[in-house]
Each structure stands twice: as C-alpha cells, then as structure tokens.
A = this chain, B = another copy of it.
C-alpha cells in the first residue's frame, strides 16, 4: 500500500518466517506470548481452541506475521471493540540497531516501572528495531456472533444509525462498517455478488459478539425495529449462521478485489472526524469528473476511518496530480490523518507534514537518531530525511 516492507534500493531483507513458535499462553488471563513470525490466522486458531480470540483481525490474516502487525500498528476489523495494539500489546522483545536485545516481553497487564519503551516500536514500521517476540492480551471467544446488513438513504442516516447502535447494542457491538452504492455496484459487476437488500445510497454492516445468543438477538431485534421505524434504515437482513455471515462480510471485504478489476487504483486511507467522513468522497468525485472511472468510499466508520479509492482505465500522472496533494490538503484542513492504518512507508513519508507538526517530526528524527544512529533499520522509510 505504502511500500513499507518493499526494498527500494540496497536494503537487506530479513524474514522472521521461521520464528513461528508460541512461547506461552496463560488461559486464566488470556495472555499469549509468541515469536514474531507467527501467522495471525494460526495464532487465532491456537487461542480459539483455548476459548479466546486474537484482539485483531484483518484481510491479510492468512499470511501476515504478528511481528509485522505490531510494527505497523495494524488496525483492522476488531479495532472498534478491542481497541489499538497500543492497548492490547503487553510486551515486546526487540533487537536494536546495535544488536542488543531489548527484553520488554512482560506478560503483565499493568507495569508502571519507568517509560513504556515497547510503545515506541508499535507502528514505527521497523525503523527503530526488529520485533522478535510479542506478548498480547486476548479477549474471550464470543459465544454468539450476529450480523446485520442494512441500507441507508443518506450519509446522515448512516451516522444516526451508528449513534443509535452505540446506545442500543453497546457492549456487544464489534464492527460498524459502511460502503457506498458505487462499491456495491463494483462487487456486483466484477465479482457477481448480489445485493441482499434494496438498492440504497449507502450500506452498513453491523456485527455483534456476545456471551448470550438470546440476549444478543433480542438487542439486535430491538435496534432494528427502532432504526427501521424511524426511517434511518429502509431495508435490512440479518445473519446468525456462518454461511450467511461469510456471504455478507464478503460484500465488504472483497471491495478491494472488485476495485482492482475496475482498473488502476489510487488508494487513500484516511481518518477524519466522523461527520466529515464522506464529504471528501463527494468533493473528489466532483473534482475529478469524467477523468476518473469510479470514486468510492467505504471503511471502518466506527473508527472514523475512510478508504477513499479512485479508479481509472490506466495510470496517469495528470490524474494523480489532480488528486494529490489535494486529498492531503483537504484532510489536513479538517484535522484528519493522511494514513489511518497503512503507515507512511516509502510512498507517503514526505507527506507526513500534513498530519504532524514540524516539532513532532523533529522529535521523531531525534528518536530515530538515538536508536539507529547509522540509519540501518528499514532505511528510506517512514520519516523524511532530516534535511527536508
């Protein structure tokens, strides 16, 4: 996405694939300690057998390593419920630039002895150290999962439905995703998936995870009656069995695939205050007019995280110039982040100034200089060079 893990010049590639052992799992507290090369999906299977789940889930789960997830501060589908890795990662083992092993691999929920050094490495994209082991807090496996797929007549209704949902589904809400009708058309046309509800300008996918199936269904039914009788939602379908749950999730999860079949894709992953989340899609769509094929918006609405994607028949530098830096300026003007979960990597490092102040960038460079004075760890990435 941003070229964070791609060698661009003279880098040496380091693989942690063989460091794939679980070190320990505390079944009382739900604390997993494992090596960095463990694959997320395999870890999830391991803890599921012990009645827990991993606190994060993402499309790439079948291949991504937990060490990479932590190094890039991965967000994903369970973020709304279980929060950021800054909260769920309890400890790390990290090899520093000079070869010293920094052992912060504690498996305690609370430890206020000095600075919380592990935080530095979460989301630093491998530029401050190489994560070799991770200690992470796992939630209990939910006994019941329900899904609702709803059609909304406008973005204001998507927001009001979210607010109603937070009040009525409260502690069992585990995902609130949205997609616009253009996304639906792409998955219909390119992937032959079918829209399970009436055509609407927006669609919302709501997942609940709880410990009592009967209670959760009752809460969901009450919520659906409320949003349908008040006109926030015009049509909807629910799923409790695994096949239909997967079918409905596919509509949201396979948007990326549908986009790649639509043409060359310009991808943006931004955070904005929730009320402004869709304005940028409308603005870019009208700005680009006929020069773009599709301009779509979807994402983790509950986290204020929009995936804005533009497709065209082929790459064109003039189209790119029409999008950038306009999209970054727009985001900065509304106090958003130009990279909500994808990081900066190689492609976006020089745009950091749209989301961070000069003082902050300078301090990051000082920290980089302290931890990696020779600049040998994931060079050319994340931060602009000091002179810029």
Give the Cβ gap from A84 to chain B, nearest Cβ, in Å.
Answer: 5
Q: Is A197 close to B, CB under 8 A?
A: no
A111 engages B363 (CB within 8 Å): no
Q: Is A23 close to B, CB under 8 A?
A: no
A211 engages B86 (CB within 8 Å): no
Provide the residues of chain B in CB contact with A271, threshold 8 Å: 108-111
Protomer copies: 2
Q: A87-B86, A140-B170, A170-B140 are in contact. Are A28 and B113 (CB under 8 A)?
A: no
Q: A28-B162, A87-B83, A167-B211 are in contact. Are A352 and B114 (CB under 8 A)?
A: yes
Partner-contacting stretch, out of A59-67, A178-186, A341-349:
A341-349
Q: CB-nearest residue of chain B relative to A166? A: B140
B109 engages A304 (CB within 8 Å): yes
Q: CB-nearest residue of chain B relative to A119? A: B119
Which parts of A20-43 form the interface with B (CB within 8 Å)?
26-30
Provide the residues of chain B in CB contact with A338, threshold 8 Å: 113
Provide the residues of chain B in CB contact with A336, threshold 8 Å: 108
Interface size of A in residues (CB-CB distance below 8 Å): 94
Provide the residues of chain B in CB contact with A172, threshold 8 Å: 171
Q: Is A12 close to B, CB under 8 A?
A: no
Give the Cβ gap from A159 to chain B, nearest Cβ, in Å.
Answer: 6
Q: Is A101 close to B, CB under 8 A?
A: yes
Q: A29-B273, A102-B359, A275-B28 are in contact. Are A114 and B219 (CB under 8 A)?
A: no
Provide the residues of chain B in CB contact with A87, threshold 8 Å: 83-84, 86-88
Q: A271-B111, A359-B101, A370-B370 are in contact. Are A28 and B159 (CB under 8 A)?
A: yes
Give the Cβ gap from A134 to chain B, nearest Cβ, in Å.
Answer: 15
B75 engages A114 (CB within 8 Å): no
Q: Is A69 close to B, CB under 8 A?
A: no
Partner-contacting stretch, out of A120-128, A250-258, A289-297, A319-327:
A120-128
Q: What CA separation (Å) do A333 and B72 show in the bound complex?
A: 33
Q: CB-nearest residue of chain B relative to A84? A: B87
B364 engages A370 (CB within 8 Å): no
Q: Is A17 close to B, CB under 8 A?
A: no
Q: A140-B166, A361-B114, A366-B370 are in contact. Are A28 and B274 (CB under 8 A)?
A: yes
Which parts of A130-166 form the interface with B (CB within 8 Å)?
140, 142-143, 159, 162-163, 166
Taking Cβ atoms with an 8 Å cutoff, the residues of A that contact B are 26-30, 51, 72-73, 75, 79, 83-84, 86-88, 96, 100-104, 106-117, 119-120, 122-124, 128, 140, 142-143, 159, 162-163, 166-172, 209-212, 215, 218-219, 271-275, 300, 303-305, 335-344, 348, 352, 355-357, 359-361, 363-364, 366-367, 370-371, 382-383
10 interchain residue pairs of minimum CB distance: A87-B87, A170-B211, A119-B119, A111-B337, A110-B340, A113-B355, A108-B271, A215-B215, A171-B171, A83-B87
19 contacts across the A-B interface (CB closer than 8 A) = A26-B274, A84-B87, A100-B359, A101-B359, A102-B359, A103-B357, A110-B271, A110-B304, A111-B340, A112-B341, A112-B343, A114-B355, A114-B356, A114-B360, A114-B361, A114-B382, A115-B124, A117-B363, A119-B120
With contacts A96-B363, A119-B119 known, what are 9 further pairs, Cβ within 8 A? A86-B87, A102-B363, A103-B357, A115-B128, A116-B123, A169-B211, A171-B209, A212-B215, A215-B218
